[in-house]
Structure 1
Amino acid sequence: MQPTEILSDEHQNILTVIDAIERECKKLISGEEIDEQFFKKAIDFIRHYADKFHHAKEEDILFKEFCNNAEKAHCNPVDQMLLEHDIGRKFVKGMKEAIRNKDKSQLIENAEGYASLLQDHITKEDRILYPMCDEVISSKSQEKMLKQFKEVETNNIEAKKKYLAITKEFEERK
């Protein structure tokens, strides 16, 4: 298994949560009240699973290794990916503020913005950046990255279980 395959698998968990967020936004638009527990759990998932767990592997391991080999690639989309990670964090901050202020329209705006951004972002990573990484990063470096990924996994076993349970719970909310 390549490091990018692990990250793509994690993307599926993130997309499951994004789908649930979109369904909750539709409920809000149709007049339902904010389900604070749902959105707080979604924000917790995003901040810890997507950002600290998944993005730690991308930003601290994969992107750095890609940049070390970027001269072999026809372009370097890493800066754009990092920018999109930051924009996503701003949307999540906006969601948290909206919940605190009980501002339904602000919550919808930030949640839908986050969902749209991440869906496009994940497509770019899975279809453009990751194949480039697979092409330019040597198999020796990929083996080293897999060991680093395993270390991240080992240091976050309980957290990973918690967030995969949230993913399953949100998937069943359909």
Structure 2
Amino acid sequence: MKADVTTVMVEEHKLILRMIDLVEKNTRLLEQGRFDDWRFYLDAVDFIRNYADRFHHAKEEATLFTALVANGMPEQNSPVAAMLMEHDQGRAFVRGMEAAAQKALDGATDQVAVLAENAYGYVELLRRHIEKEDTILYPLAERVLPAEVRPAMLEAYHRAEAEVAEDFSERYRRMVEDYEVRSAA
């Protein structure tokens, strides 16, 4: 039986999608004048940069995508190239959200539209991105990656997880849960 090399990625997507839902909901409220917690957006940026990007995307890029290319998937004009491009697009939206939130915290009163444009851009991009990974790329990876490369991939995921603080994933899970509780109130 082949070791499943995408289960951990799908599980991480679930927490990322929960944060994306919060970003979308709070941005709608922000546009309606019913939300003014600019700090939330800096926390969302922290979550996205550290959990989604440096932790999750890094495992994809350094391990999964590398294994796919090494096992026959073209590096250019391929699903891997498209996913890498979307990772970069997401990073640009996150920089825009961060800049707008910081300006608002510093007293600027004209940042709602800028923040909303970047937040909605990120939300839309990441939802489509995750859907493509979960329904197309990951199932493809499970079909094409040979059994002999899977143990090393799983070990690479474990090493990546071991390189972060012991409470890293739990800290970000608690962050999302805390904002979900606030959002429901």
Alpha-carbon distance in structure 2 between the residues aligned to 1:71 and 1:52: 24
Tell me the residue number matched to 1:125: 133
Tell me the residue number matched to 2:27: 25
- Uncovered stretches (5+) of structure 2, i.e. residues with no partner: 105-110
Tell me the residue number matched to 1:99: 101
Structure (1/2) with the larger helix percentage: 1
Alpha-carbon distance in structure 2 between the residues aligned to 1:131 and 1:33: 39
By how many angstroms is 1:140 displaced? Answer: 2.1
State the 4+ residue runs in structure 1 displaced beyond 4 angstroms.
Answer: none
Q: Which one has more relative contact order, counting CA pairs under 8 Å at least 6 apart?
A: 1
Preserved CA contact (<8 Å) 2:6 2:142: yes
Are residues 1:167 and 2:176 paired?
yes
Q: Give, as a single letter, the amino acid of the residue that structure 2 aligns with 1:165.
A: R
Identity %: 39
> Aligned to 1:134, which of 131, 137, 142?
142
Alpha-carbon distance in structure 2 between the residues aligned to 1:109 and 1:34: 16
With normalisation by structure 2, the TM-score equals 0.88
Alpha-carbon distance in structure 2 between the residues aligned to 1:99 and 1:37: 7
Structure 2 counterpart SS, 1:70: coil
Q: Give, as a single letter, the amino acid of the residue that structure 1 aligns with 2:142.
A: D
Q: Give, as a single letter, the amino acid of the residue that structure 2 aligns with 1:45.
A: F
Q: How does 1:19-168 map to 2 (within 5 A)?
A: 19-71=21-73, 76-102=78-104, 103-156=111-164, 157-168=166-177
Root mean square deviation of aligned Cα: 1.6
- Uncovered stretches (5+) of structure 1, i.e. residues with no partner: none
Aligned residues between the structures: 172
Q: 1:137 to 1:29 in 2, by over 3 A?
A: same
Alpha-carbon distance in structure 2 between the residues aligned to 1:168 and 1:139: 37
Q: 1:71 to 1:64 in 2, by over 3 A?
A: closer
